[in-house]
């Protein structure tokens, strides 16, 4: 069975959580593992009308048979981790979750520095979750690791060993990326970026998968890209226009209002190329055309939406495999068999 990586193609908030949740329930992966930066990235999913937001644990938690893992490259905030164990206890996550013993720890002083630093919080517009300072300490080789925190001991494991063993046994592994390509420390709109690379290659490294073990890379784009915080946004529309179009959104972690823009085909093509996309997922297509809300068959989509999807495939050069038409798990069109 293959390994599948899901990453964001824009500036985060692309709706990766809903795509991951669908894959977790539809494809039934035996292992779901989270890569990425840390608790500065929030994924939201709606299950039977109830919203669940996670910042630390894998978003595929609703698959009750899956082993849930947090890769070595991910920063861990014990406070957030234990909060989510309680928040998701109806899904028995505590019995299924494992943290790599090499994960670096976000300490209270990291969060304080992140929130009070005029450059990080004022100019760059960080989330204040402590990830940047924690990664700085990690680079300086003075951050504590998960193995140093007694309370985390029952959950510690070698995630890289588990993931590769699962692949050796022919199990399906779903790898979750966080944030978006435009926030990559290397390829994004520096300095208005996060504290590490967010491309698919980095996510694979975070969980201990070598490049030859990656079978599919799904890059997620939303019909109208959004961005939280400062930084370049070439296709940004005025807030009044976003309000008129009903495109008012707020960040999962910060609660800040998201800036909204038009779909950037050139940026999407570059993002797909660097991420090595094998297919695309397009979300919030119901925002592009409200008549598409809840549609589950491609042939029943409005003509305008079909033309938009075809334009994306043509200009980005990668086929669209998944289309989200609403917030609920069943609001999706799965075209992967046609690719």
Question: So which residues are the catalytic ones?
Answer: 13, 43
Phi-psi domain of 338 (left: phi exceeds 0; alpha: psi -120 through 50; beta: other): alpha
Identify the sign of the CA torsion 325, 46, 43, 167. negative
Residue 174 token pair: 């779903």
Q: How far apart are CA 312 and CA 55, in angstroms?
A: 30
Mapped onto helix, strand or coil, the DSSP state of residue 189 is: coil
CA distances from 56 to 74, 229, 274, 306 (A): 9, 21, 26, 36
Q: How far apart are CA 227 and CA 207, in angstroms?
A: 26
The distance from CA 249 to its chain's CA centroid, rounded to whole angstroms, is 17
- Cβ neighbours for 108, distance < 8 A, ≥ 6 positions apart: none
Q: How far apart are CA 313 and CA 328, in angstroms?
A: 25
Using the 8-state DSSP alphabet, how is residue 326 labeled? Answer: S
Q: How far apart are CA 96 and CA 158, in angstroms?
A: 14
Q: What is the CA radius of gyration of the chain?
A: 19
With CA atoms as reference, report the closest residue to 280 among 324, 234, 326. 324
């Amino acid at each position: 069975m293959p390994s599948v990586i899901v990453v964001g193609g824009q500036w985060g908030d692309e709706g990766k959580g809903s795509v991951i949740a669908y894959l977790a329930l539809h494809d039934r992966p035996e292992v779901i593992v989270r890569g990425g930066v840390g608790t500065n990235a929030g994924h939201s999913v709606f299950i039977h009308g109830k919203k669940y937001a996670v910042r630390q644990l894998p978003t595929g938690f609703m698959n009750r048979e899956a082993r849930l893992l947090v890769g070595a490259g991910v920063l861990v905030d014990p406070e957030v981790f234990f909060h989510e164990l309680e928040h998701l206890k109806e899904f028995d996550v505590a019995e299924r979750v494992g943290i790599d013993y090499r994960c670096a720890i976000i300490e209270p002083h990291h969060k304080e520095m992140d929130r009070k630093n005029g450059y990080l919080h004022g100019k760059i517009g960080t989330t204040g979750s402590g990830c940047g300072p924690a990664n700085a300490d990690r680079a300086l080789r003075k951050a504590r690791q998960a193995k140093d925190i007694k309370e985390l001991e029952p959950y510690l494991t070698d995630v890289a060993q588990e993931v590769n063993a699962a692949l050796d046994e022919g199990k399906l592994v779903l790898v979750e990326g966080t944030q978006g390509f435009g926030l990559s420390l290397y390829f994004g709109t520096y300095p208005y970026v996060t504290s590490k690379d967010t491309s698919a290659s980095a996510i694979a490294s975070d969980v201990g998968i070598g490049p030859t073990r990656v079978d599919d890379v799904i890059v997620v784009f939303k019909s109208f890209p959004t961005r939280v915080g400062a930084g370049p946004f070439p296709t940004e529309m005025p807030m009044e226009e976003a309000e008129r179009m009903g495109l008012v959104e707020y960040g999962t972690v910060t609660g800040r209002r998201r800036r909204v823009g038009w779909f950037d085909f050139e940026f999407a093509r570059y993002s797909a190329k660097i991420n090595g996309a094998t297919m695309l997922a397009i979300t919030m297509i119901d925002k592009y055309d409200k008549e598409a809300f809840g549609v589950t068959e491609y042939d029943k989509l409005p003509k305008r939406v079909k033309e938009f999807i075809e334009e994306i495939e043509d200009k980005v050069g990668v086929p669209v495999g998944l289309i989200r038409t609403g917030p609920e798990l069943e609001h999706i069109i799965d075209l992967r068999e046609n690719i």
